[in-house]
């Protein structure tokens, strides 16, 4: 109509649907970015128990990774974790598991190995670290971010 400005005109149905879809996609992209950053923080904290660290990391690398974990979980010490990783490597050798095979394992497979061969007593801190890592709850079912707090998990494991 004459005198009508473009900003006054409403969107057509296809344009409105397109706008709503872009809004949803933007929100989805933003949520994924935030969640991936949080997951990266968790992986960084638990870097010492990732398969590559457990199997092939150097002493220097392990000593760099452990403080991130021991800052949060004060019941672990850097030296205990380091000694237990060395012990785990000897156990893997004794079980005739190659380094190449062990590098492909997940944290769950390492924990299963420790439990299956009854190494929980010789690797108590390492098995507990693996359990902590594997029980972190990350909710992806809703639009709201919901990462459980590590302290809450720690407290629930500490209770008899």
Convert the pLDDT of each residue in 92-134 to its tens digit. 999 999 999 999 999 999 999 999 999 999 999 999 999 999 8
Average pLDDT over residues 40-47: 90
Conformational region of residue 154, where left means phi above 0, alpha means psi within -120 to 50, and beta covers everything else: alpha
Q: Which residue has the higher pLDDT, 149 or 53?
A: 53
In a domain, 121, yes or no: yes
pLDDT tens per residue, range 62-77: 999 999 999 988 889 9
pLDDT of 42 reads 86
pLDDT of 158 reads 63
In a domain, 7, yes or no: no
In a domain, 62, yes or no: yes
In a domain, 60, yes or no: yes
First-residue to last-residue Cα distance in the chain = 76
Name the one residue in this structure whose structure tokens are 């594997």. 134
Which segments of the chain are extended strands (E)? 138-139, 146-147
Q: Which domain holds residue 49?
A: 12-158
Alpha carbon of 6 to those of 23, 43, 81: distances in Å? 21, 50, 67
* Residues 6 or more apart whose Cβ sits within 8 Å of residue 33: none
In a domain, 18, yes or no: yes
Give the confidence band of 4 by pLDDT, cuts at 50, 70, 90.
Answer: low
In a domain, 1, yes or no: no
Count of domains observed in the chain: 1
CA 70/CA 46 separation, integer angstroms: 10
pLDDT of 144 reads 42
Nearest to 157 by CA among 133, 140, 122: 133
The rounded percent of the chain whose pLDDT value lies above 70 is 79
In a domain, 35, yes or no: yes
In a domain, 4, yes or no: no
- Indicate the pTM of the whole model: 0.70
pLDDT of 146 reads 46
């Amino acid at each position: 109509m004459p005198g009508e400005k473009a900003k006054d005109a409403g969107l057509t149905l296809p344009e409105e649907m397109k706008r709503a879809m872009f809004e949803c996609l933007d929100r989805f992209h933003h949520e994924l970015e935030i969640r991936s950053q949080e997951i990266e923080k968790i992986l960084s904290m638990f870097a010492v128990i990732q398969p590559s660290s457990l199997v092939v990391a150097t002493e220097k690398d392990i000593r760099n990774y452990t403080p991130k974990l021991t800052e949060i979980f004060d019941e672990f010490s850097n030296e205990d974790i380091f000694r237990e990783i060395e012990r785990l490597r000897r156990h893997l050798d004794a079980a005739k598991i190659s380094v190449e095979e062990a590098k492909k394992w997940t944290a769950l497979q390492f924990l299963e190995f420790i439990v299956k061969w009854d190494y929980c007593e010789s690797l108590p801190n390492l098995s507990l670290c693996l359990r902590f890592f594997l029980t972190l709850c990350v909710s992806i079912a809703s639009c709201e971010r919901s990462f459980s707090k590590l302290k809450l998990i720690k407290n629930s494991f500490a209770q008899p």
